[in-house]
Chain A
Amino acid sequence: MLESFIVPLLAATVQSGTPILYATLGEILTEKGGILNLGVEGMMSMAAFVAFAVAYTTGNPWLAFICGGLAGTVMAMLHGFVCITCLGNQVVSGLALTILGVGLCNFLGTPFIGLAAPGFSKFAVPVLSSIPYLGKIFFRQDALVYFCYFIPFIFMIFMNRTRLGIAITAVGEKPGAAAAAGLKAVKLRWMALLGGGFLIGLGGAYLSLAYTHLWANGLAGGRGWIAVALVIFAFWRPGRAVFGAYLFGGVMAFQLRLQAIGTHIPSSLLLMLPYALTILVLIFSAVRGRGGNAPSHLGINIEPEG
């Protein structure tokens, strides 16, 4: 049971949690700067498509991965133009971005359906992969998963130990205070938004480069929304985001496996599992009353002063 079911399940958990983790960290960075971006689903979709198209045409998966990130940045730019430059409503703009991204990805992606592109494959890390159980779970993955192990640490150091990270936090909490301290509040918001967009884009790229190597429409499959919910569950902290992302990765992997084994539970109920968990997780966060952890100026635009 342990060898044949649990270990492979946990290994699959890590893999399916990875894109969610990229996206959640990206959204945390965005929100830390004070911008609410509900376009994650659309951004991941577009990034997955761009990454696939680049990999298909150039055959270079690393270039494709970076281009996926840049696709996220470009989508974030649209959001920034509406919300930061034109002071538009962040919720509406984010929703529009999702609809745009998902729609455009399906439209552009249709000719590619069923095609395969070179991507990342799994390889075992010497030494580490021979640790019993853990080796199989964590160290027989693809390069992007290994890369992702470092990101939460870098993220934590960035937010707490660098001037830029603290300045971004200040802008999300109280842009007026940041401006009075001589910071360029608007510029910092742009940086957080674009940086976050890049990470979200990497999450999307993972889906078409490593999670599967075949193109199919609707690859994001709700992961963007889960990431948005996870930010709240994580109380805007990267450590908890890791936990949350793998939790969801686990549920997704589990429901796939159950379907594969062929239980008599209807598959639509199983497909529902991640979203039922999303609701549970949000209730849990609300009950713990830590919504107060949100950056105080989250979702509020910076109005120019006299």
Chain B
Amino acid sequence: MKGPQDLTRPDSQKATGFADAAPLISLKGITKRFGKVVANKDISLDLYPGRIKALLGENGAGKSTLMNMLAGRFKPDEGYIEVDGVRKEFTSSKDAIKAGIGMVYQHFMLVETMTVAENVLLGQEGSFFINPREMNDRVRKLAVDYELEIDPTARISDLSMGEKQRVEILKLLYRESRVLIFDEPTAVLTPREAFRLFEALWAMTRLGKSVVFISHKLEEVMAIADEVAILRRGAIDDEVMRDKITSKADLACRMVGKEVLLEVTKEDVEIGEKVLEVKNMTGIGLRGINLHVRKGEVVAIVGVAGNGQQELVEGVSGLRKPPKDTIFIMNKPWRKFFAEMTWNNSMSYIPEDRLDLATARNLDLVDNLLLTTGKGFTKGPFLQRDKAAKVAQELVEEYDVRPGRIQALAWQLSGGNLQKMVLARELYRQPHLIVAEQPTQGLDISATEEVWNKLLEARKMAGILLITGDLGEAVQLADRVAVMYCGQIMDEFPVTDTAKLDNIGLLMAGVRE
């Protein structure tokens, strides 16, 4: 495996001769809404030939949405796209392809039952009949030319993730795309495959192509980018040249952002007994985790996404079995706790994925309430749905969930209202431990404030394990902060330790003084 240092671009791989070219693509004031969610807010961005632009941002920041518009899959609600300085309207992928824009989607767009060559040529204009031999030869030659070896007659379903990605790249090259967009391309690759991808990207910049590289991995962005644009909550937060970024820590700080968007007052509450203890936990992707949460406390786990936070949450919330005797909840070993778990006075989990894990999208608010509180509304074998409806109505009013109808289906609610409903349901269970995963991701300021206040209030009955990628959130809510990197806890300190807080970027980047 190559270490992160090895990823840097050798001088021989540098693209030259495009120093002061005009932008190939200009995005001008792009705004995109999905219902009430504003996925992109007034974004302007230039892409230049021969350069790699990294789009860095947390999950849900709006990176994919922005690039989907450039690739013609979505239409912007406001703003427009210029190609070579000429304003263009894309009504479908076809238009974008014609304009020389190609995208490798996060989830590959390949037809599994067809061959490599058929996939590469799919959608290409040409004679009515095709000649498989000639088609295979053409794809084989293209693969050899770009050193992306692949058998054109292989079926996609037989290929590894890295090979599938190579097919996607060949598709773009075959179309002679000038702008190549890669949406989190390394997420599915082994480190070796990732390095091969980087070499391919460098080769393309030398041909004067413009590359967009979407990622939330700092090392990769440091290694590959010429320019970095940081997206937060749907807007461009910062745009810098790679040379101006001094270190990974610097980049980490820019990514999490430090400016205070919102402040909430945090009253002192009485600290009680331990509700969660993680003892020396190694396994399921984690190493030597020690952690505890007491009633009345908020412990924030911060770090760049993908450094073991998800594994930790899955272990604690019971989705994944941890090694024996490592997790204790309310003083019971994991297995015993989940065997005896009751619907109330126990643990609540507020997942990051609101629409598919926290709720059932096609059920109304009453049924969604019953998802985790069902046992509280039974009488013998019968469900007391009318009682649940009454409670749901009360919760909707108390938490100001709009529209105030309990008949609304989960998917019809905006992100913020849905999250308030989830929070209402989970707090109704009177938990002693709350696991809150990115509880305000994608929410607007007012919804964020309400969620924060409710969580702080919940400290009176529970200890809270907060997983967040937003440092501001950690600072506002937490008593203690633990920084995760590569499956380990780098450091844990009280939130009042400003010296450490200032250096948190280093810790998030895996550097210990």
Interface residues of A (CB under 8 A from B): 161-164, 166-167, 169-170, 173-174, 176-184, 296, 305-306
Contact B123 A178 (CB under 8 A): yes
Q: Which residue from B71, B73, B114, B128 sits with its C-beta under 8 Å from A173?
A: B114
Interface residues of B in 93-132 (CB under 8 A from A): 93-94, 97-98, 103, 105, 108-114, 118-119, 122-124, 126-130, 132
Compute how far the CA of A67 lies from the CA of B32 in the bound complex, rounded to whole angstroms.
Answer: 49
Contact B93 A179 (CB under 8 A): yes
Q: Which residue from A163, A164, A174, A305 sits with its C-beta under 8 Å from B109?
A: A174
Residues of A within 8 A of B129 (CB): 161-163
Q: Which residue of A has the minimal Cβ distance to B120?
A: A181
Contact A167 B109 (CB under 8 A): no
Contact A161 B93 (CB under 8 A): no
Residues of A within 8 A of B132 (CB): 161
Compute how far the CA of A163 lies from the CA of B372 in the bound complex, rounded to whole angstroms.
Answer: 51
Contact A169 B111 (CB under 8 A): yes
Contact A183 B112 (CB under 8 A): no
Compute how far the CA of A169 lies from the CA of B111 in the bound complex, rounded to whole angstroms.
Answer: 9
B74 at the interface (CB under 8 A from A): yes
- Indicate with 1 or 0, residue by residue over B284-299, a CB within 8 angstroms of chain A CB atoms: 0000000000000000
Compute how far the CA of A167 lies from the CA of B108 in the bound complex, rounded to whole angstroms.
Answer: 17
Residues of B within 8 A of A174 (CB): 109-112
Q: Which residue of B has the minimal Cβ distance to A292?
A: B113
Residues of B within 8 A of A296 (CB): 112-113
The answer to whether A184 and B92 touch (CB under 8 A), given A167-B123, A305-B74, A306-B74, is yes
Residues of A within 8 A of B32 (CB): 306
Q: Which residue of B has the minimal Cβ distance to A177?
A: B109
Q: How large is the interface on B (under 10, 10 to 19, 20 to 34, 35 or more residues)?
A: 20 to 34
The answer to whether A180 and B109 touch (CB under 8 A), given A164-B128, A166-B122, A306-B74, is yes
Compute how far the CA of A180 lies from the CA of B183 in the bound complex, rounded to whole angstroms.
Answer: 14
Q: Is the interface of A mostly helix, strand, loop or mixed?
A: helix
CB distance from A292 to the nearest CB of B (A): 10
B171 at the interface (CB under 8 A from A): yes
Contact A181 B171 (CB under 8 A): yes
CB distance from B130 to the nearest CB of A (A): 6
Interface residues of B (CB under 8 A from A): 32, 34, 65, 68, 71, 73-75, 92-94, 97-98, 103, 105, 108-114, 118-119, 122-124, 126-130, 132, 171
Residues of A within 8 A of B110 (CB): 174, 177
Residues of B within 8 A of A305 (CB): 73-74
Contact B114 A182 (CB under 8 A): no
Q: List 9 A-B contacts (CB under 8 A).
A: A161-B130, A162-B129, A163-B129, A166-B122, A174-B109, A177-B108, A180-B93, A180-B105, A180-B109
- Could you say which of B68, B93, B105, B123 has the most chain A C-beta atoms within 10 Å of its C-beta? B123
CB distance from B158 to the nearest CB of A (A): 15
Contact A182 B97 (CB under 8 A): yes
Residues of A within 8 A of B68 (CB): 306
Residues of B within 8 A of A163 (CB): 124, 126-130
* List of 5 A-B pairs having minimum Cβ-Cβ separation, nearest first: A181-B123, A182-B94, A177-B109, A182-B123, A180-B109
Compute how far the CA of A176 lies from the CA of B110 in the bound complex, rounded to whole angstroms.
Answer: 9
- Could you say which of A176, A181, A184, A296 has the most chain B C-beta atoms within 10 Å of its C-beta? A181
Residues of A within 8 A of B71 (CB): 180
Compute how far the CA of A181 lies from the CA of B73 in the bound complex, rounded to whole angstroms.
Answer: 11
Compute how far the CA of A80 lies from the CA of B132 in the bound complex, rounded to whole angstroms.
Answer: 32
CB distance from B5 to the nearest CB of A (A): 36
Contact A170 B74 (CB under 8 A): no
Q: Which residue of B has the minimal Cβ distance to A185?
A: B92
The answer to whether A180 and B103 touch (CB under 8 A), given A162-B130, A163-B126, A163-B130, is yes
Contact A178 B130 (CB under 8 A): no
CB distance from A303 to the nearest CB of B (A): 13
CB distance from A291 to the nearest CB of B (A): 14
Q: Which residue of A has the minimal Cβ distance to B127?
A: A163
Compute how far the CA of A174 lies from the CA of B111 in the bound complex, rounded to whole angstroms.
Answer: 6
CB distance from B309 to the nearest CB of A (A): 29
